[in-house]
Structures are given as structure tokens and as C-alpha cells.
Amino acid sequence: MRVLMIGSGPNAVDARDFDGFDAVVAINNAWRIRPDWTHHIHPEDFPTDRHPPDVNAGQTIVTYRDYVPIQNEFGGFVYAGGTMAFTAGYWALGHLRPRLIAFIGCDMTYAATGATHFYGTGTADPLRDDVTLRDLSAKSARLMVMGAARGCAMVNLSRADQSRLILPRAAPHDRPPPRPFDARAVERARDLERALNYTTPDGRYWQDTGHIDVGALDRLDALWMRAASAGLSPSGQG
């Protein structure tokens, strides 16, 4: 299975021309990009007036009731990063079990002036002050390695000059294999995650962050970057 994952960045509109995918996962407002989305995923607080007005046969709404248990199977939100691009990625990895997840509109970079999202100006959610989002590139490294360990390649279809995703760049019809990774660094990272035991079964990690050791999370981020670096070019992206 090949999954197209659409975020809300300005270049998300490029996804209108992409074909050859078995599932099209639209995050938040991205259902507006193309009518043939197969899954719409959104957080618990996503305004109801922004939901798709119609859900047709073959289309599924994915809510926190669906993705929280899967996110917990992958270690939970504190380690994965509490923003929807990553949440949707882990959900797709765990539920759809694809061979490829291709992201577009998920660069998580925001222009100082002009449009920040495909629909105009919006909130830069991944840049909010959140202990789980201190290093977005490292969180993307973790997702990529988790995917590779399950035989799933993760790529970025964006042609933007900058991205906080370290996923290799690709074209829509590419069929790359999963990137190699440093298994020893993964083992060290997972051991540290288990030792810290920052679990939130209900997914609401933000309600109790006072006990979280920021330094430990930074060490984790460094380990995941090291794990992913085995499959990255010197430029860091593909």
C-alpha cells in the first residue's frame, strides 16, 4: 500500500495532481485539497465547522479514539511529538501498514509574511511552546526509523527549499526502499524511553508535563537523529 499524507502547508495544493496512491490521508483542513480523500484525521479540538460536510462511501473519519491507542503502541505522544503530521504518520503506519508514506504540505516552515497555509494565514501549531516539539527534525527522524523497521519508506514530496522533515525527497511515482538506520542507536533510544516511562494512555500529555526532564528528551532527540543519519545523505535530506 502507498499512502499520500496531505498537510496544510502552501504546497499541499500540489497533491491535486498526484496519483498512484492507495490511500489519501487528509490532515485537518486538507480534505479541501481533493475530493477523493480516503481518510480525514483531526485532533479532538478541531472545530466542527471545519469538518468535511459530506463523507462518501470509501471515506473514513479518524479521531483521537482511533489514533491515541496506535500512538501509544509506538511509545506515546511525548516521544513522537504532539502535532498532527506526526500523529497521522504513526496512525497510518500502525493501521494501514503501508510500504510507503509520502508527505506533502508538512514542511512545518512558515513565511514571515503572506500565506502560511494553503488556505491563507493560519496558526503555526508545530512551533508552539510544547515540550514534545523541541526538535521537529528529530521527531521526523524517529518516525522515519520506526517506519523503516516495519518495512515502510517515508518520503517528502515537497519541493520547498526548507523543511523540518528530514525525510528523503521523492517524486510522487517513486518507489524507494526504507532507509537504513543505526540499530544500536535505536536500541539505546528505546531503552531510554522505557526508563523515562513518559506514558499518557489518554493522549492528553499536556495536562501533566511538570515531571518531564527536558534534558532527557533532548538526549532522546539526539539518539533518533543518530539512528536516522545512517540513511541520510550529507545534505541531510535524501
Q: Domain residue spans in the chain?
A: 2-229
Question: What is the pTM (predicted TM-score) of this model?
Answer: 0.92
Mean pLDDT of successive 10-residue segments in the chain (238 residues)? 96 95 98 97 94 95 97 97 97 99 92 71 74 94 98 96 94 96 97 96 90 96 95 52
3-state DSSP of the chain = CEEEEECCCHHHHHHHHCCCCCEEEEEHHHHHCCCCCCEEECCCCCCHHHCCCCCCCCCEEECHHHHHHHHHHCCCHHHHCCCHHHHHHHHHHHHCCCCEEEEECCCCCCCCCCCCECCECCCCHHHCCCHHHCCHHHHHHHHHHHHHHCCCEEEECCCCCCCCCCCCECCCCCCCCCCCCCHHHHHHHHHHHHHHCCCCCCCCHHHCCCCCCHHHHHHHHHHHHHHHHCCCCCCCCC
pLDDT (tens digit, 9 = 90+) per residue, 121-164? 777 677 777 899 999 999 999 999 999 999 999 999 999 888 99
Residue 197's pLDDT is 96
- With both helix axes pointing from N to C terminus, report the angle between 136-149 and 84-95 in degrees, rounded to the nearest 10: 0
Residue 44's pLDDT is 93
Residue 117's pLDDT is 78
Q: Of the candidates 90, 104, 97, which has an alpha carbon nearest to the alpha carbon of residue 22?
A: 97
The greatest distance separating any two alpha carbons of the chain, rounded to the nearest whole angstrom, comes to: 47
Residue 80's pLDDT is 97
The amino acid at residue 52 is: P
Query: CA angle, corner 53, sides to 47 and 54, nearest 5?
Result: 140
User: What distance in Å separates the CA atoms of residue 179 and residue 148, rounded to the nearest whole number?
Assistant: 6
